[in-house]
């Protein structure tokens, strides 16, 4: 029920505090721009954190209309929310946090693909896949981020034990760049070399390395699928030049007062800030 009176409905927006605007057309444009730069590689979308805080429903519907068919979320709850929006034929869902103990049936029920990053996860998923109908999975290789993922040594051991993967389908091999927003950082080439070695172990398995900034590093980093996140929402992917991404989020806040602050005066609870010179202060809310 709407409890707003007719008088309230026609009052100026500035009387009601800050206004956050979300430009879905800009979101779609950013996806198309990144997809164009990714060339023949598929462009997926990272939509974790409720679509980076913009609302999962409107974000994924916008991206889907722009051509996106593969989405990366953080955990099962996000995968369930996304599957309620799109059936399996319309959206492939990868769960970055991987497989928690006893989670396999819940993932299979919504046709979500776990990103497996440990020997224990792979063993549990293989066991489940051999006994039940299970979707494909991704294998996460840690090439230098020291976060989630198998070490290259662990991967070599696993590939040597071929039976570990028997009965399960590996649909994607992936890793994550640590320094992609620093194009000249030697870590980029080091991770690329390690990832290429891992890719050689999985014949004909699609591979994914590039995040938002990774797309800007060039086609050698694109492989079969790129996974932009922050750039979709207006963040910078290319370090040099103007930001090619359109602004998706805007915040307009009225200025309540502009006042002078004397040198040596303080501001804020606990007087935590001290002015080192005469300053003008704008108060917004």
Q: Which two structure tokens, joined as six digits, stand for 230?
A: 């922050």
State how far the Cα of 247 lies from the Cα of 267, in Å rounded to an integer: 32
Over the range 66-81, which residues count as b (16 or more CB within 10 Å of their CB) and which as e? bebebbbbeebebbbb
Over the range 119-141, which residues count as b (16 or more CB within 10 Å of their CB) and which as e? eebbebbbebbeeeebbbbbbbb
> Is the Cβ–Cβ distance between 246 and 23 less than 8 Å?
yes
Q: H helices within the chain, ranges in order?
A: 6-9, 24-38, 48-52, 56-65, 76-85, 104-109, 119-131, 152-160, 186-201, 212-215
| CA-to-CA dists, residue 175 to 35, 197, 204, angstroms | 19, 12, 17
Q: Which two structure tokens, joined as six digits, stand for 120?
A: 């224990």
> Is the Cβ–Cβ distance between 110 and 83 less than 8 Å?
yes
Q: For Cα atoms 69, 199, 204, give the angle at the middle one, nearest 5 degrees.
A: 65
3-state secondary structure 90-107: CCEEEECCCCCCCCHHHH
Question: Which residues belong to the active site?
Answer: 48, 269
């Amino acid at each position: 029920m709407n409890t707003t009176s007719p008088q309230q409905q026609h009052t100026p927006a500035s009387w009601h505090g800050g206004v956050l605007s979300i430009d879905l057309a800009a979101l779609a444009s950013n996806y198309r721009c990144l997809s164009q730069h990714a060339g023949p590689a598929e462009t997926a979308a990272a939509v974790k954190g409720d679509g980076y805080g913009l609302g999962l429903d409107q974000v994924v519907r916008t991206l889907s209309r722009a051509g996106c068919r593969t989405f990366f979320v953080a955990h099962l709850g996000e995968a369930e929310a996304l599957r309620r929006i799109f059936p399996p034929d319309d959206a492939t869902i990868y769960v970055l946090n991987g497989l928690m103990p006893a989670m396999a049936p819940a993932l299979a029920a919504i046709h979500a693909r776990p990103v497996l990053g440990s020997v224990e996860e792979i063993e549990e998923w293989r066991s489940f896949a051999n006994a039940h109908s299970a979707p494909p999975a991704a294998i996460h290789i840690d090439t230098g981020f020291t976060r989630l993922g198998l070490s290259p040594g662990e991967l070599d051991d696993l590939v040597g034990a071929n039976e570990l993967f028997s009965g399960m389908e590996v649909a994607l091999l992936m890793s994550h760049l640590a320094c992609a927003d620093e194009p000249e950082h030697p870590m980029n080439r080091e991770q690329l070399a390690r990832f290429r070695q891992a890719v050689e172990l999985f014949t004909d398995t699609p591979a994914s390395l590039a995040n938002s900034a990774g797309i800007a590093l060039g086609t050698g980093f694109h492989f079969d699928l790129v996974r932009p996140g922050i750039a979709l929402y207006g963040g910078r992917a290319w370090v040099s030049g103007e930001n090619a991404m359109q602004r998706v989020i805007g915040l307009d806040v009225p200025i309540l007062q502009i006042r002078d602050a004397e040198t040596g005066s303080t501001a804020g609870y606990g007087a935590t800030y001290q002015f080192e010179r005469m300053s003008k202060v704008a108060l917004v809310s």
